[in-house]
Structure 1
Amino acid sequence: MHIGGIDWQTLTQRQWHPVQLEHNLHRLKLAAPLAPPVNLLHIWMFWGRPAQSANEALWLQGIILAHAGMLLFFGLLALAAWWLDRRPQRLRLRQACITVGILGTLGFAALISSVDQLVTSNITPLLVGCTLVALVFLHRPLAALLLFATTLGLFIWAIGQTQSDPALLLSNRVNGLSICAIAMALAWSQWHHFVKIQSQQQRLETQQALLEQQNARLSYLAEHDPLSGLLNRRAFGEIVTHELLRAERNQQPLCLLMLDLDHFKQINDQYGHPLGDRVIRQTAALLASLVRASDSLARIGGEEFVLLLPDCDLQQGRQVAELLRQNVEQQLRRVDGLELALTVSIGLVAIAAGQACSYERLYAASDRALYQAKHSGRNRVAGVPLN
Structure 2
Amino acid sequence: MPIGGINWQALTQQQWRAEQLEHNLHRLKLAAPLAPPVNLLHIWMFWGRPVQSDNEALWLQGIILAHVGMLLFFTLLALAAWWLEPRPHWQRVRQACVSIGILGTLGFAALISSIDQLVTSNITPLLVGCTLVALVFLHRPLSALLLFAGTLGLFIWGIGQTQNDPALLLSNRVNGLSICAIALALAWSQWRHFAKIQSQQQRLESQQQLLEQQNARLSYLAEHDPLTGLLNRRAFGEIVNHELLRAERNGQPLCLLMLDLDHFKQINDHYGHPVGDSVIRQTASLLASQVRASDSLARIGGEEFVLLLPECDLQQGRQIAELLRQRVEQQLRRVDGLELGLTVSIGLAAIPAGHFCSYASLYAASDRALYQAKHKGRNRVEYQAPA
Q: TM-score range by the shorter chain?
A: over 0.9
In the TM superposition, what is the alpha-carbon distance from 1:322 to its structure 2 partner?
A: 0.3
**Residue of structure 1 equivalent to 2:58:** 58
Relative distance call for 1:182 and 1:286 in structure 2 (3 A) is: same
Checking the alignment, whether the CA contact within 8 Å between 2:39 and 2:70 is kept in structure 1 is: yes
- Looking at structure 2, the residues matched to 16 and 213 of structure 1 have their Cα atoms a distance apart, in angstroms, of 24
- Secondary structure of 1:385's partner? coil
Amino acid at match of 1:39: N
**Residue of structure 1 equivalent to 2:117:** 117
TM-score normalised by length of structure 1: 0.98
**Residue of structure 2 equivalent to 1:309:** 309
Relative distance call for 1:280 and 1:313 in structure 2 (3 A) is: same
- Looking at structure 2, the residues matched to 5 and 122 of structure 1 have their Cα atoms a distance apart, in angstroms, of 40
Relative distance call for 1:345 and 1:203 in structure 2 (3 A) is: same
**Residue of structure 2 equivalent to 1:216:** 216
**Residue of structure 1 equivalent to 2:273:** 273
- Secondary structure of 1:372's partner? helix
TM-score normalised by length of structure 2: 0.98
In the TM superposition, what is the alpha-carbon distance from 1:6 to its structure 2 partner?
A: 6.0
Question: Aligned residue pairs: how many?
Answer: 387
In the TM superposition, what is the alpha-carbon distance from 1:53 to its structure 2 partner?
A: 2.0
Checking the alignment, whether the CA contact within 8 Å between 1:283 and 1:328 is kept in structure 2 is: yes
Amino acid at match of 1:318: R
**Residue of structure 1 equivalent to 2:370:** 370
Amino acid at match of 2:64: I
**Residue of structure 2 equivalent to 1:299:** 299
In the TM superposition, what is the alpha-carbon distance from 1:2 to its structure 2 partner?
A: 5.2
In the TM superposition, what is the alpha-carbon distance from 1:10 to its structure 2 partner?
A: 2.6
- Secondary structure of 2:384's partner? strand
Give the unaligned 5+ runs of structure 2: none
Summarize the alignment of residues 290-369 of structure 1 with structure 2, pairs less than 5 Å apart: 290-369=290-369
**Residue of structure 2 equivalent to 1:177:** 177
In the TM superposition, what is the alpha-carbon distance from 1:384 to its structure 2 partner?
A: 3.3
- Looking at structure 2, the residues matched to 257 and 139 of structure 1 have their Cα atoms a distance apart, in angstroms, of 68
Checking the alignment, whether the CA contact within 8 Å between 1:352 and 1:385 is kept in structure 2 is: no
**Residue of structure 2 equivalent to 1:195:** 195
- Looking at structure 2, the residues matched to 337 and 55 of structure 1 have their Cα atoms a distance apart, in angstroms, of 102
In the TM superposition, what is the alpha-carbon distance from 1:4 to its structure 2 partner?
A: 8.1
Amino acid at match of 1:33: P
Checking the alignment, whether the CA contact within 8 Å between 1:255 and 1:348 is kept in structure 2 is: yes
- Looking at structure 2, the residues matched to 4 and 123 of structure 1 have their Cα atoms a distance apart, in angstroms, of 35
Amino acid at match of 2:241: T
Say yes or no: does 1:186 pair with 2:208.
no
Amino acid at match of 1:383: Y
In the TM superposition, what is the alpha-carbon distance from 1:354 to its structure 2 partner?
A: 2.3
In the TM superposition, what is the alpha-carbon distance from 1:385 to its structure 2 partner?
A: 3.4
Q: Deviations over 1:335-366 (max 9, x none)?
A: 11111000000000001112121111111111
In the TM superposition, what is the alpha-carbon distance from 1:86 to its structure 2 partner?
A: 2.5
Relative distance call for 1:225 and 1:129 in structure 2 (3 A) is: same
Checking the alignment, whether the CA contact within 8 Å between 2:247 and 2:311 is kept in structure 1 is: yes
RMSD: 1.2
In the TM superposition, what is the alpha-carbon distance from 1:386 to its structure 2 partner?
A: 3.0
Checking the alignment, whether the CA contact within 8 Å between 1:314 and 1:384 is kept in structure 2 is: no
Relative distance call for 1:253 and 1:143 in structure 2 (3 A) is: same
Q: Deviations over 1:286-330 (max 9, x none)?
A: 000000010000000011000000000100000000010000000
Summarize the alignment of residues 9-88 of structure 1 with structure 2, pairs less than 5 Å apart: 9-88=9-88
Say yes or no: does 1:139 pair with 2:136.
no
Amino acid at match of 1:112: I
- Secondary structure of 1:120's partner? coil
Checking the alignment, whether the CA contact within 8 Å between 1:260 and 1:346 is kept in structure 2 is: yes
Amino acid at match of 2:21: L
**Residue of structure 2 equivalent to 1:232:** 232
In the TM superposition, what is the alpha-carbon distance from 1:381 to its structure 2 partner?
A: 0.2
Checking the alignment, whether the CA contact within 8 Å between 2:6 and 2:195 is kept in structure 1 is: no
Checking the alignment, whether the CA contact within 8 Å between 2:117 and 2:162 is kept in structure 1 is: yes
Checking the alignment, whether the CA contact within 8 Å between 1:109 and 1:126 is kept in structure 2 is: yes
